[in-house]
Amino acid sequence: MTEAPRPAVRAGVAHAHPDFGRFVRDAHEAGHLVVQPRMGFSDPGHMRRGLAATRNARATTVGTLTLDSYTRVGDMPAVDEALRRGAGINGYPIVNHTPETTRDVLAGLHGPGFPVQVRHGSSLPFHIFEALLRAGLTATEGGPVSYCLPYGRTPLDQSVRAWERSTRLFAALRGQGVEPHLESFGGCMLGQLCPPSLLVAISALEALFFHRLGIRSISVSYAQQTHPGQDAEAVAALRALCARLLPDALWHVVIYTYMGVYPTTESGAYRLLGEAARLAATTGAERIIVKTVAESRRIPTIEENVTALEHASDTARRFRRTPTEIGTDSPTYAEAAALVDAVVNLHDDLGQALLLAFKRGYLDVPYCVHPDNAGRTRSFIDTDGRLRWASTGALPIGRAAPGRGDRRVTSGELLTALSYVQRTFDGDTPRHPLSA
C-alpha cells in the first residue's frame, strides 16, 4: 500500500510533542482533508497493527484509540476480569493496561507526523484523562453534555463537575510546553433526528466551556444528518459561531459520517460515506471521522477501516470548497446563535449556565430520555428530507423560528424517520446521490 504524503511539521516548541490541532491545521493549509477511523481493540498487539495500518493508509490520517464500554462507565473490575479470561471487549482499556503497555503500542507511530486521539464516551472521565496523560497522549474528546445525556443516567451536574476537573488537568499541560487538544462531541447528540441548530449550539457551547477552562486547541463536531444542503448550512453556521466565540483559539471542524441507522448494503454504505466526505470538502471542514461497510453488523476490521479512510480521502479530492460564504444569514445560524446567547447569558460560569439551560428547557434534545432533559421538543423529517422542529418546547428561538413547533409526531412517523437514511442509501436511486 502506497503511503500518501503527510503535511510538513514546522519546527518550534509546540512541535516537541505531537500537536493534534496544529497537525490538522497544517494538513488543511496543504490542501489535505484529515481522515480518522473509530478504531479500538482490546489486544495491544492488534491495536498497534490498527494504528500502523492507519498511519500507512493512502490518505492524510490521524490515529484513534477508542476505549471499551466498561472503561467508559468506570467498571474497572469488569475489565480486569475480561483481560484475565482473555475475553474480547469492544475497545482499548487504557486504564487497565499499564502506561508502559500503551507506550509500546504507540512507539514509533505516535508523533508529530501522526498524532493519536483517545475517544471514549465517558460522562465521568477523570480516570481516563489520568491514564492517557500517563501514556503520553495529549488529544481526546467528549464534553459535559454530549457524553452525559445520550449514554446513561449520570446526573448532568456530576458530569459538568467531572469535565471541569478533567479539563483543568488537561489544560495544565500548557504550562509544560505541550498543547493539549479537546474535541466537542456536541455536534453528534443521539446521532440522528436532532435539528442542526441544536447540534451546532451544543458543539459551540462545549468548545467555549473547554476554552474558558484553559484549552486553546479545540475542535468542534457536526454529524451528517438527512439533507446535504441543510448540513452545509449547519457547518457554515458552526464556523461562524466559533469565529465569534473562540477568536484566540486554534480550532477546526470535524465531520462525523452519519451516526444513526446505517445502510446495510456495501453500495449504500459507500455512498453515504462519500456524501460525508463531500460535505467536509465543500464546507472547508478540516477532518472527518469515517464509518465502514460493516457498521450495521459488527465491529469493523482493520482492513475495512483502511478502505473507508481511503475512500473518504479519494472522494474529498473530487470536490472543492464552495466559494460562497454562508454563515450568519441562514435559519440554522439564527437558531443556533439564539440558543448560544441565551445560555451564555444565564450565568458567568458556563458550567452553571449549561445546568440552568437544561433546567429551564433552553436546551432540550428531542427524544432524549435522560432525567435532566426536559423532553418537550420533537423533530421530524420534512418531505424535502430536512430535519425540522415539530415542537420547540421552551427553546429560546421564537424569533429565529417563527411559526414552528406545533406539529404532532406519531410513533409510526418516528420509526420511519429513524430508518430514513438507511432506506434512502440502500435504495437503487438514493435521494441525494454524489453525482447530484
210-244 pLDDT tens trace: 999 999 999 999 999 999 999 999 999 999 999 99
For 64, 83, 93, the CA distances from 89, given in Å and listed in that order, are: 16, 8, 8
Higher pLDDT, 12 or 254: 254
pLDDT computed for residue 337 by the predictor: 97
Please tell me the least confidently modeled range out of 41-55, 86-100, 418-432: 418-432
Per DSSP, the residues of 115-146 read -EEEE---SS-HHHHHHHHHTT--EEEE-TTT
Q: What is the DSSP letter of 11?
A: P
The whole-model pTM stands at 0.92
Angstrom distance (rounded) from CA 431 to CA 412: 21
The per-residue pLDDT for range 57-82, each reduced to its tens digit, is: 999 999 999 999 999 999 999 999 99
Provide the residue range defining the domain that includes 205. 1-436
Rounded mean pLDDT, 370-394: 93
For 48, 91, 99, 140, 176, the CA distances from 133, given in Å and listed in that order, are: 18, 18, 9, 10, 13
The total number of structural domains that make up the chain: 1
Place of cell 465569534: 244
pLDDT computed for residue 413 by the predictor: 82
pLDDT for 8 beyond 70: no
Strands 387-392, 116-119: parallel, antiparallel or unpaired by DSSP? Answer: unpaired
pLDDT for 154 beyond 90: yes
pLDDT computed for residue 295 by the predictor: 76
pLDDT for 189 beyond 90: no
Amino acid letter, 428: D
pLDDT computed for residue 3 by the predictor: 43
Per DSSP, the residues of 382-423 read -TTS-EEEEEETT-S-TTTSTT-S-----HHHHHHHHTHHHH
CATH code for position 217: 3.20.20.240
